[in-house]
Structure 1
Amino acid sequence: MPHDHHDHDHDNDHDHEHGQHPPEDVVLRVKALESLLVEKGVVDPAALDAIAEHYAERVGPKNGARVVARAWRDPTFHARLMADATEAIAELGFHGVQGEHMVAVQNTAAVHNLVVCTLCSCYPWPVLGLPPTWYKSNAYRSRAVIEPRKVLSEFGVELDPAVEIQVWDSTAEVRYLVIPERPAEADQLDEDALAELVTRNGMIGTALR
């Protein structure tokens, strides 16, 4: 029987006022300023979207991809990453707010890891950039826990029924980074080439890599 496992349940662990979201008045001020700049023709909304997309899809995830590639190439680094992800990731220069307490979880042939934040959108910004819209959606936050296999299937990830799915619930205190399975070509490729194989979704667990 396949075993769907939800780990680190935390109904009251999220800190919504400290370290996760800007205060509401700041959010409102930013939105008001953005609206005014767009209205005055100073800022193009498409340009703002492009900038956000750049940081969400490219800058942040490239950091995480570098971590994964190093782990694939360097068994010693991989061991340090699994023992203390925060410290190992900091070795590569990636640290800061939203990434103070990191835990790395390793995909294997028998176990697939999936990360969610059930109460808000806790996310490791230093290694993954901005969280994608779907990660913050109510549908993903609830369904990833209740029916993770179906959610993965909708992302195009079809797992053997024998593969166990472990769902990790991020909090304001702990964030998770999925380390995809090491590819067969890891011994033939350098770190830069390996990093190109790693996607943001792979490090959340909604892709194989």
Structure 2
Amino acid sequence: MPHDHSDHDHPHALLPPDPALRIKALETLLTQKGLIDPAALDVIIDTYENKIGPRNGARVVARAWADQEFRSALLADATATVADMGFFGRQGEHMVAVENADGVHNIVVCTLCSCYPWPLLGIPPGWYKSDAYRARVVREPRKVLAEFGVALPKDTAVRVWDSTAEVRYLVIPERPAGTDGMDEEALMALVTRDSMIGTGLARVP
């Protein structure tokens, strides 16, 4: 048979099977050839993962906590409202904001792939793209939340929102107690990336 040969003869057999290892192998090869600078790459990834993205979303949430008129506009039309703040573009074309409140907790997933609001939250974390999270959060959201350290009262309803290519979600976490009088910058520091996905809560001051 034409295909009766060892898999080890195929060039792809030289690549590790795990996607993360494949990425590392490619990065190593590109570095050896002088095509990329690992330090510069680390800075870019850190910027989008921890600074630009989540900071944008945190600013939106902080303003929603402090300004009821803005909050109402955000809940009514998140796409236009965040665009007015300069947050728009690829992966953020169609936004919907959902609000946590007493008795309701929202959590976001993309069951088909990894649709995610990049302009607001930056690069999606690895666990968000994992098969385990995408499958389990729909079936057993409370158990998944508990694994993230979020223990909810039994009477709190958990709503799971499935992102798609057509719509992406931003969770507005509950504003922590004791934050009256804090300005927007101080409130932003309480908003975490995970709290805007729903797998975490806002920090307590």
What band does the TM-score fall into relative to the shorter chain?
0.7 to 0.9
RMSD across aligned C-alpha pairs, in angstroms? 2.0
Instruction: Return the offset for 1:40.
Output: 2.6
State yes or no: 1:85 paired with 2:78.
Answer: yes
**Could you tell me which residue of structure 1 aligns to residue 107 of structure 2?**
114
**Could you tell me which residue of structure 1 aligns to residue 195 of structure 2?**
202
Separation (CA, whole Å) in 1 of partners of 2:51 and 2:145: 22
Q: C-alpha offsets along residues 106-161 of structure 1, whole Å, 9 cap, x if unaligned?
A: 00110000000001000000100110000000000000101100000000001111
Separation (CA, whole Å) in 2 of partners of 1:121 and 1:160: 29
After the TM superposition, which of the residue ranges 56-65 and 34-43 deviates more from structure 2? 34-43
Instruction: Return the offset for 1:78.
Output: 0.2
**Could you tell me which residue of structure 2 aligns to residue 160 of structure 1?**
153
**Could you tell me which residue of structure 1 aligns to residue 5 of structure 2?**
none
Distance of aligned partners of 1:190 and 1:43 in 2 relative to their CA distance in 1, 3 Å threshold: same
Q: C-alpha offsets along residues 72-106 of structure 1, whole Å, 9 cap, x if unaligned?
A: 00000000000000011112111111111100000
Equivalent residue pairs, number: 180
Larger gyration radius, structure 1 or structure 2: 2
Distance of aligned partners of 1:145 and 1:77 in 2 relative to their CA distance in 1, 3 Å threshold: same
**Could you tell me which residue of structure 1 aligns to residue 139 of structure 2?**
146
Separation (CA, whole Å) in 2 of partners of 1:182 and 1:34: 41
TM score, norm. by length of structure 2: 0.82
**Could you tell me which residue of structure 2 aligns to residue 45 of structure 1?**
38
1:186 match: secondary structure = coil
Partner AA of 2:194 in structure 1 = N
Instruction: Return the offset for 1:38.
Output: 0.7
**Could you tell me which residue of structure 1 aligns to residue 13 of structure 2?**
none
In the alignment, is the contact (CA less than 8 A) between 1:73 and 1:186 conserved in 2? no
Q: Which has the higher contact order (CA 8 A, sep 6+)?
A: 1
Alignment of 1:1-209 (within 5 A): 34=27, 36-41=29-34, 43-45=36-38, 47-209=40-202
Unaligned runs of 5+ in 2: 1-22
Instruction: Return the offset for 1:52.
Output: 1.1
Unaligned runs of 5+ in 1: 1-29
Separation (CA, whole Å) in 2 of partners of 1:46 and 1:118: 33
Aligned-pair identity (%): 66
